[in-house]
Amino acid sequence: MSFHSFFVQLPFGTMAVTTAFIASIVAANMVGSSEAALRSTSAGESRINAGAVTSTLLSEIEGTLGATPVRRMARIEAALGSMYASLPKNQFGKLGHSTVRYALHRLFVQRHGWYVKGLEPAGDSWNTTSPAGILKDRVSSEVIHLMEGRLDGHGFSLHETAVLAATLEHLVHDEALERLGRAYTLQNLDQSENLNSASSHSVLDAYMKLYMLPEDMAAVATDEHMVAAYPVWRETQDFVRDVQKEVLRTEHGSGPSFTVMSNVVEEIGERFGRFQDAECRQMKDQLVSLGDHGIGRVALADFYRPALHDKSFQFAESMDYLRELGALDETDPSSPSVIVPNYVNAPANCIASSSFYSVCCLDECEQLMGHLESNIKAPEAPVATIVDLVSQLSSSTVEAPRTLPQSLLERLDEVAAPHAGNVQLHGRMFGQWMHHAFPRECPFPHVAGATAPRTPDEWMDSAEADSVNKAAKSAFASPEEMRQYVDKRAKSPSEVHPDGELNHWEVHEELLVPFPARATAKSRSVPWFLFSVVMLSAALISVASRVADPVKVAKAALESLRQPDEIAKIKAETAWSEPVRDASLMRLRTRGASYLPA
């Protein structure tokens, strides 16, 4: 049976449309991440193997008929429900491609702390699209033909959006199985054997090392090395063991099989984001303790002082890198400050990565937005409704109930004025207002294109490509650069933003759906929806294959120190395999002074 005829004969009705949606997403995400799904063309370029896509889709479709996947789908739909109800719809009452991208990004951040590559805006607009030719160069003609023949152009329903999410989770699970297999290999164990307690612990330790380090480093890293590079390694081991015990509670036999261990690592992936977020909250507390003046701003001099005076590796990012992360407030260019939530949520603080996603700090603003969405259940609301809800809404640093200041009320009126007095919940201006209402929890939303958040390794790779500006593009500030700000007399954030109220305000709206759909169903059927799905897929393709290289970052970090004695001391105290030492230093530079070996 051909790839196309398989879908034509599916007896599912709407499932036929759903699988076409999945095809575009699976095709995009498999580029650069699954060698088995690729085949070489005569021109030397890779294209998606239709058979591999068919296999993945069959697995997902057949899985939805079983009890466990049905429960998973129900959980995903429940998690999406309030957000879906509040998002702007097209003329068919469904979501367009950019809105689905937005919804899936937020879903994975909320559920797992996953920042899926290709879903996050990366400093750009949610409405940004890539040339359709990118997809056509990588997807077989069979997939394109399938999409052209089966899509009806109506958009994404709640169920179809949930299936897309479940399919991405399925692909992540497949990747976890492959990593688990490599962990067995590192421990010289066969996947056919049942493990005893010690062996299962060794496999899971190897799995987590592979999750957090490149394979060549993970292969030689001991527990002592991991503690040196990641101080909460012991706590991570305890977390993994607890998950294992919970999964094994219902298992009986001589020891866990590979199938049981796969269930363990899947559950670890589901929960690890929230576990590691405790570190993020500590980082936030440390930033606030440096003096944020109650407005989520830390003077750059105060930000650098611990690294300069206490020889700490924490909070040492260069000003250029902070600016690109979107973590720098230059309301007064002579007195820059670090924006607390933007810094905490930056890619520099992601702790683990795969070909599909990075595990990063949870966005505290997501919970606040979720509360508003669950109460409003619409894409817009009157000012009075927003005021009533937000005045009763508390966060980790804001107590409720409270009386919102007059300046904040006036700003909200400004947000609503262009929309007949209604606030667009998912617009940039309301996001900016939420930052003012919760300056320590909600990130400041920069205008699209003003920032380009990247991990330190991506930043350093771009610096290496630009040898002329290599020094200027270091991700880490040298002691001399830090001293320029520490010794300089500058205004404090409370002087730049007097009376405890932020002046950082840009009148520039960006909406998920900037122009309401007015075309008829006939004029916007297959071609329009095909274009929408192609654009979503192309966005995923554009960044899905980027792979981090922490070794380069570590070496650049050492060079930026410019302190030979300190470098020699660090090398002596981390006198083990060169690649692992480099990875360890990478985490020292990006995760804090406590990562120095004792």
Model confidence pLDDT, tens digit, residues 501-541? 888 999 999 998 764 433 433 444 444 444 444 444 444 44
Q: What is the mean pLDDT of residues 8-25?
A: 32
CB 116 within 8 Å of CB 104: yes
Clarify whether residues 437 and 532 are in a common domain: no
pLDDT of residue 467: 52
pTM score over 0.75 = no
Domain range for residue 412? 364-442
pLDDT of residue 236: 94
Clarify whether residues 19 and 133 are in a common domain: yes
Whether 106 is covered by a domain: the verdict is: yes
CB 576 within 8 Å of CB 225: yes
Clarify whether residues 422 and 529 are in a common domain: no
Whether 249 is covered by a domain: the verdict is: no
- Per-residue pLDDT tens digits for 62-83: 344 343 467 778 889 999 999 9
Q: How far apart are the first and last CA of the chain?
A: 63
- Looking at the DSSP bridge assignments, the partners of residue 424 are 380
Q: Which of the pair, 429 or 52, is modelled with greater confidence?
A: 429
Structure tokens at 388: 């009533």
Confidence of residue 469 (pLDDT cuts 50, 70, 90): low
Whether 306 is covered by a domain: the verdict is: no
pLDDT of residue 355: 74
Nearest to 170 by CA among 89, 92, 69: 69
Residue 95: strand, helix, or coil: strand
pLDDT for 91 beyond 50? yes
Clarify whether residues 145 and 41 are in a common domain: yes
- Looking at the DSSP bridge assignments, the partners of residue 317 are 476
Give the C-alpha separation, 12 to 15, whole Å.
5
Clarify whether residues 12 and 161 are in a common domain: yes
* Range in 264-268, 402-406, 480-484, 529-533 with the lowest mean pLDDT: 529-533
Clarify whether residues 26 and 165 are in a common domain: yes
CB 260 within 8 Å of CB 203: no
Whether 564 is covered by a domain: the verdict is: no
CB 416 within 8 Å of CB 125: no
Whether 75 is covered by a domain: the verdict is: yes
The b-or-e profile of 334-360 (16+ CB within 10 A means b, else e) is ebbbbbbbbbbbbbbbbbbbbbbbbbb
- Looking at the DSSP bridge assignments, the partners of residue 357 are 116
pLDDT of residue 187: 94
* Type of residue found at 387: V
Clarify whether residues 46 and 160 are in a common domain: yes
Whether 40 is covered by a domain: the verdict is: yes
Whether 131 is covered by a domain: the verdict is: yes
pLDDT of residue 456: 77
Domain count of the fold of the chain = 2
pLDDT for 213 beyond 90? no
- Per-residue pLDDT tens digits for 146-200: 333 333 467 788 887 887 788 778 778 888 999 999 999 999 999 998 999 999 9
Nearest to 107 by CA among 141, 75, 133, 139: 75
Longest Cα pair distance anywhere in the chain, in angstroms? Answer: 74
pLDDT of residue 166: 81
> What are the strands, taking DSSP E only, across 269-425?
297-299, 328-329, 337-339, 352-353, 357-359, 380-382, 422-424
- Per-residue pLDDT tens digits for 279-328: 999 999 999 999 999 999 999 999 999 888 876 668 989 999 999 999 99
Whether 111 is covered by a domain: the verdict is: yes
Clarify whether residues 388 and 531 are in a common domain: no
> What are the strands, taking DSSP E only, across 5-112?
38-40, 46-48
> 373, 408, 442: which is the final residue of a domain?
442
Percent of the chain topping pLDDT 70:
66
- Per-residue pLDDT tens digits for 345-396: 998 888 887 777 889 999 999 999 999 999 999 999 999 999 999 999 999 9
Clarify whether residues 389 and 536 are in a common domain: no
**Segment (H or E) for 79:** helix 67-86
Clarify whether residues 62 and 153 are in a common domain: yes
Clarify whether residues 133 and 15 are in a common domain: yes
pLDDT for 110 beyond 80? yes
